[in-house]
Amino acid sequence: MPLRSDIHKVLVIGSGPIVIGQAAEFDYAGNQVCRTLREEGLEVVLINSNPATIMTDKTMADKVYIEPLIVPVLKKIIKIEKPDSILPTMGGQTGLTLAMQLAKEGFLEEQGVKLLGADPVTIDKAEDRQMFKDMLESIGEPVIPSKVVTDIDSALEFADNEIGYPVIVRPAFTLGGTGGGICETRKELEIIGSAGLRQSPITQILVEKCVSGWKEIEFEVMRDAKNNCITVCSMENLDPVGVHTGDSIVIAPAVTLADKEYQMLRTSAIKIIQELGVEGGCNCQFALNPDSFEYAVIEVNPRVSRSSALASKATGYPIAKVASRIAIGYSLDEIKNAVTGKTFACFEPALDYVVVKFPKWPFDKFVYAKRTLGTQMKATGEVMAIGSFFEQALMKAVRSIELGLETLNLPKLKALSDEEVHDKLYDCDDERIFVVYEAFKRGIDLETIFDITKIDRWFLSKINNLVYMEWFLGDGELTEEKYKDAKDLGFLDSTIIELSGQKPPKRIPAAFKMVDTCAAEFEAETPYFYATYDEENEAAEFIKEHSTGKKKVIVFGSGPIRIGQGIEFDYCSVHCVKALKDAGYEAIIVNNNPETVSTDFDISDRLYFEPLTPEDVDGVLETEKPWGAIVQFGGQTAIKLTKHLTEKGINILGTSADDIDAAEDRERFNELLDKCGIPQPEGKTAFTTDVAVREANELGYPVLLRPSYVLGGQNMIIAYSEKDVVEYMGIITRNGELENPVLIDKYLMGQEIEVDAVCDGENFLIPGIMEHIERAGVHSGDSISVYPPYALSQSVIDKIVEFTGMLAKELHVLGLVNIQYVYYQNTLYVIEVNPRSSRTVPYISKVTNVPIVDLATKILLGETLESMGYKPGLVPSGDYFAVKVPVFSFPKLTDADSQLGPEMKSTGEVLGIDKDLESALFKGLLGAGYELHKVGNIVLFTVKDADKADALTVARKFEQFGYEIYATKGTCSYFNEHGMHAHHINKIDEPEPNTDTIFDTGEVDFVISTSKIGRDPAMASVQMRRKAIERSIATLTSMDTANALANCLLSGKTLDSVNMVDINTI
């Protein structure tokens, strides 16, 4: 069937801000969808609150709304745009749930809007626990014994009397399994079950027999309206059932299944998608008993997902693209396979390599968060590695994950005794694979490790191979054969030399193979490569055959999504590639993140899916022999390669390595500021705890501590006392001596300002200045940021422009620079200068109409601002205010403190755009998930002394809005002393009724809480904030945020009073 004739205008719903469980994969999907629909001549209306995405670029759709993803907003937009259809299956759980709500309310029918790809019945059958069970039973597919309950007593009764413990709790309709978990005992079920019920928007959980230890297998299935089905890819989790698939190490294709088991599950997956009637893509997860043919269906996602993004990258089969064509009427045999150009979408990719996915967890940021992995996903991102062998792919993945590891040796495990290593095998956490490796090294045998971990012996044996190779390398002559074997197993030359003490007899360079969906059966033209160690280098052949005579430029990507280095950098990388191609260059991407747009094989001229380490990158350089390389768009991951590339004699386009160092090296930077006469907070450096304490005491508290060369304020704190300094230095030095010093700065609680500037070496352009709502101290990535500035005087703005120009010139910035200022007691200070792209670039590009990355890239190629028609200096602000509001993933991270500070904690962001600041802020807050109307009756205050005065101001505003103010002892006395009535409530560690008691009433809408020290989950203040988060109560830890929110409430803004802004009209 060709394109349906009843579809002309399609609304695509995005997935909103990046949170744990819903990340860049939906930008990748959305990007493919929008491109595909427009290729088909359809009008596309897009809504997504996330401004950091590529899909919200103006050119991606006919109408682009960066508006809150909530039902009333969608209704408003549907009424304005009158689309005839909605594609709900591309925006993750968020998009699907919204579309469902609209459908169920009858709104879509009323407006004459069709749902494409899946109808409400389909979605319910997949998502509603009971209907899902019934559906599977009706087609004879096995389910794990379970029961849907809506109260905790029924849960307990079912577990006690029918299935026994352990059980798994799965809340209905939550992201990434939020609120679920394994309960070993009745007591645990009471706790986890109750939490799950609260988390579920429909107060419903599934209590399920625990089959942890079974194999976890996934299939990605496609179906069209004719009922044609194919499976794109199978995937096997290294971690058996029990660990969320998003937190599992995954291999594709499945490797431990014989054809009988494989086909059994494949057939089941096809039966399921046919029964559901999905038109598009679907993900089926199975638990398979390792000792029999017994299996059970765990979960089905009737939409594109993280797994489908992975499967797309793992096979070269563009699931989202094909799914959108199916949704608008095409059948699988009518859609061309873009990879071969010869075959059709109705085949199953054949792989001649293996793929390993490795999660990236945020535990380096949340040092106190519980690292245990279970049914609730905790990873913020992931990497993928491709190799000819499992070991090779695993080693590449470990290098890509940026833990500073070249092998599976985790240094901190070396200090453990054999017994401790053995016992640590029981901990199912983010480090388990490294513990397994260490266990093999300590001589613990495979069966023992298997008994404890239930990781399939196949994987264990492969991991053991790496241990053997390490031994062999250290033993005897490094022969050619031994060296080749080590390379095949993924060892770097540097590791081989280190372990063997010998130089390789004859270095084997990386050879690149093509990812072609068909195991070389057909000739393919995909410029998508991975490295292995064979004689034939297909990339080199490809380059020869497709020689264009154009200059080649390599763009280094930003690796896995993590806090502080998110999707924004992928946005920049992709735009850089586009600009390069536009300017007549060949653009080559090296990256390892399967979720992103940059690793879509038709973005660049060539894509290399490789770790971003010096040696891995060398292989690409040798094959490509590029004219130049660009590192400034790939975050710290790419910046880190600067030194190596310079040493290799690579032409780095942009700010030189030396100038980057001048911005990052404390002493050189001081000199530079002195020379320019630009003030900065007084600062010192230290390598050791002793020196740090001495310097901090000298500067006077509070001081800001941070390591040099970081992004996202990793390991950054405000220390109020010597004790804080000692604690901090303890954490930062726990992995050994520091390579770079810790920076200690006087902490100034002033107005924070941020600029991005494009510089051509002579002139500079500031597209816009951003002013933060929160004063310094809250990391810029966690601050609400307003464009254009709302309270700065012209003289301060002039000063910012002046300083920016001076810094750009002095640092010889070519391309982008991001500068952070603080305005404190009538003085403008520079806090930080980063000569690279930043996370604000995408949104500023969109609201100012200045194509920042495009300009920067062209400057790197020799253009000047003037030659491109831009007048240097500050671009006059437009008619719109744009407010960026951070979004956090605290509910997923047990024991992580939500108190904001200088270390970044947010995972994503939303934008509110409108003609006035109040409306823009209102929309930003709505988009970030705040309820901006009264639900309950109470606002709770419990703040540290330094915040009490500000808290009082805020409390008065909440009171004025009609809230009852509750406060803990100190705060309450302060309020009452200052003539504002507050109810006293006990703290969480004081007798009931306490804060917990009122949380349980559901009456508390906001908690405003700060404490002098946080982080440690043993502290009452942290526990209280955790409780509030578990109960989905908005928790604010900056008086400035709380004040802004209170103002917003008082402003009386409603959705009726704000405009829906198509950013194409800005």
DSSP string, 589-629: EEE--TTSSTTSTTTSSEEEE---SHHHHHHHHHHH--SEE
Using CB under 8 A as the binding rule, whether residue 479 contacts other proteins is answered as yes
Stretch that binds other proteins, among 49-57, 200-208, 478-486, 924-932 (CB under 8 A): 478-486
* CA within 13 Å, CB half, 564: 22
Query: In the set 154, 409, 465, 994, which binds other proteins (CB under 8 A)?
Result: 465
Minimal distance in Å, beta carbon 487 to other proteins?
A: 10
Minimal distance in Å, beta carbon 290 to other proteins?
A: 6
> Crossing angle, helix 841-848 and helix 852-860, to 10 degrees?
110
Using CB under 8 A as the binding rule, whether residue 493 contacts other proteins is answered as no
Question: In terms of CB distance, is 130 or 256 closer to other proteins?
Answer: 256
Query: In the set 25, 391, 724, 1005, which binds other proteins (CB under 8 A)?
Result: 391
* Biggest alpha carbon–alpha carbon distance for the chain: 83
- Measured in degrees and rounded to the nearest 5, phi and psi for residue 720 equal -100, -10
Among 362, 382, 359, residue whose Cα is nearest residue 896 = 362
Using CB under 8 A as the binding rule, whether residue 930 contacts other proteins is answered as no
Do residues 785 and 847 make contact, with C-beta atoms less than 8 angstroms apart? no
C-alpha 846/C-alpha 768 separation (Å) is 11
C-alpha 1066/C-alpha 1061 separation (Å) is 8
Using CB under 8 A as the binding rule, whether residue 331 contacts other proteins is answered as yes
Using CB under 8 A as the binding rule, whether residue 222 contacts other proteins is answered as no
Query: In the set 216, 239, 488, 605, which binds other proteins (CB under 8 A)?
Result: 488
Token look-up 């039902």 returns: 71
Minimal distance in Å, beta carbon 904 to other proteins?
A: 41
| CA 62 remoteness from chain centre | 27
Do residues 346 and 332 make contact, with C-beta atoms less than 8 angstroms apart? yes
Do residues 236 and 216 make contact, with C-beta atoms less than 8 angstroms apart? yes
Minimal distance in Å, beta carbon 261 to other proteins?
A: 8
Minimal distance in Å, beta carbon 271 to other proteins?
A: 11
Using CB under 8 A as the binding rule, whether residue 329 contacts other proteins is answered as no
Q: How many CB atoms lie within 10 A of CB 497?
A: 15
Minimal distance in Å, beta carbon 258 to other proteins?
A: 5
Question: Given strand 167-171, what is the order of strands in its sheet?
Answer: 146-149, 205-209, 167-171, 181-183
Stretch that binds other proteins, among 29-37, 512-520, 666-674, 683-691 (CB under 8 A): 512-520
Helix (H, G, I), strand (E, B) or coil at 368: coil
Question: In terms of CB distance, is 512 or 601 closer to other proteins?
Answer: 512
Question: In terms of CB distance, is 457 or 746 closer to other proteins?
Answer: 457
Minimal distance in Å, beta carbon 205 to other proteins?
A: 33
Using CB under 8 A as the binding rule, whether residue 342 contacts other proteins is answered as yes
Query: In the set 42, 66, 197, 230, which binds other proteins (CB under 8 A)?
Result: 230
Using CB under 8 A as the binding rule, whether residue 223 contacts other proteins is answered as no
Q: How many CB atoms lie within 10 A of CB 936?
A: 16
Stretch that binds other proteins, among 45-53, 288-296, 631-639, 777-785 (CB under 8 A): 288-296
Query: In the set 202, 519, 791, 949, which binds other proteins (CB under 8 A)?
Result: 519
DSSP string, 132-189: HHHHHHHTT--B--EEEESSHHHHHHHIIIII-SSEEEEETT-GGGTT-EEESSHHHH
Q: Which residues contact 543 (CB under 8 A, 6 or more apart)?
A: 606, 623, 624
Using CB under 8 A as the binding rule, whether residue 325 contacts other proteins is answered as no
Question: In terms of CB distance, is 275 or 431 closer to other proteins?
Answer: 275
Using CB under 8 A as the binding rule, whether residue 137 contacts other proteins is answered as no
Among 67, 50, 63, 17, residue whose Cα is nearest residue 912 = 67
C-alpha 451/C-alpha 440 separation (Å) is 14
Stretch that binds other proteins, among 204-212, 374-382, 405-413, 458-466 (CB under 8 A): 458-466
Minimal distance in Å, beta carbon 392 to other proteins?
A: 9
Q: Which of residues 81-100 bind other proteins (CB under 8 A)?
A: none
Query: In the set 132, 390, 556, 601, which binds other proteins (CB under 8 A)?
Result: 390
Stretch that binds other proteins, among 71-79, 520-528, 777-785, 1037-1045 (CB under 8 A): 520-528
- AA identity, residue 147: K
Question: In terms of CB distance, is 164 or 474 closer to other proteins?
Answer: 474
Please give the size of the binding site for other proteins, defined by CB under 8 A. 66
Helices (H), 863-1019: 917-927, 948-960, 969-977, 995-1001
Query: In the set 55, 332, 652, 1060, which binds other proteins (CB under 8 A)?
Result: 332
Stretch that binds other proteins, among 106-114, 304-312, 452-460, 925-933 (CB under 8 A): 452-460
Question: In terms of CB distance, is 390 or 966 closer to other proteins?
Answer: 390
C-alpha 531/C-alpha 533 separation (Å) is 7
Using CB under 8 A as the binding rule, whether residue 739 contacts other proteins is answered as no
Stretch that binds other proteins, among 483-491, 661-669, 715-723, 999-1007 (CB under 8 A): 483-491
Using CB under 8 A as the binding rule, whether residue 291 contacts other proteins is answered as yes
Among 317, 378, 326, residue whose Cα is nearest residue 350 = 317
Query: In the set 134, 137, 333, 671, which binds other proteins (CB under 8 A)?
Result: 333
- AA identity, residue 613: T
Q: Which of residues 234-263 bind other proteins (CB under 8 A)?
A: 253, 255-260, 262-263
Minimal distance in Å, beta carbon 476 to other proteins?
A: 10
First to last CA, the chain: 39
| CA 4 remoteness from chain centre | 36
Q: Which of residues 343-362 bind other proteins (CB under 8 A)?
A: 343-344, 346-354
**Hey, which bits of 727-813 come out as E strands?**
742-746, 751-760, 764-775, 785-787
Using CB under 8 A as the binding rule, whether residue 270 contacts other proteins is answered as yes
Helix (H, G, I), strand (E, B) or coil at 310: helix
Minimal distance in Å, beta carbon 254 to other proteins?
A: 8
Minimal distance in Å, beta carbon 1040 to other proteins?
A: 56
Using CB under 8 A as the binding rule, whether residue 583 contacts other proteins is answered as no
Do residues 230 and 198 make contact, with C-beta atoms less than 8 angstroms apart? no
Q: Which helix (H) or strand (E) holds 815?
A: strand 814-824
Query: In the set 165, 472, 627, 701, which binds other proteins (CB under 8 A)?
Result: 472
Minimal distance in Å, beta carbon 519 to other proteins?
A: 4
Stretch that binds other proteins, among 227-235, 687-695, 816-824, 826-834 (CB under 8 A): 227-235
DSSP string, 48-71: -S-TTSSTTSGGGSSEEE----SH
Interface contacts to other proteins, rule CB under 8 A:
226-231, 253, 255-260, 262-263, 266-267, 270, 290-292, 331-333, 342-344, 346-354, 388-391, 456-458, 461-462, 464-465, 468-469, 472, 479, 481-482, 485, 488-489, 513, 518-523, 534-536
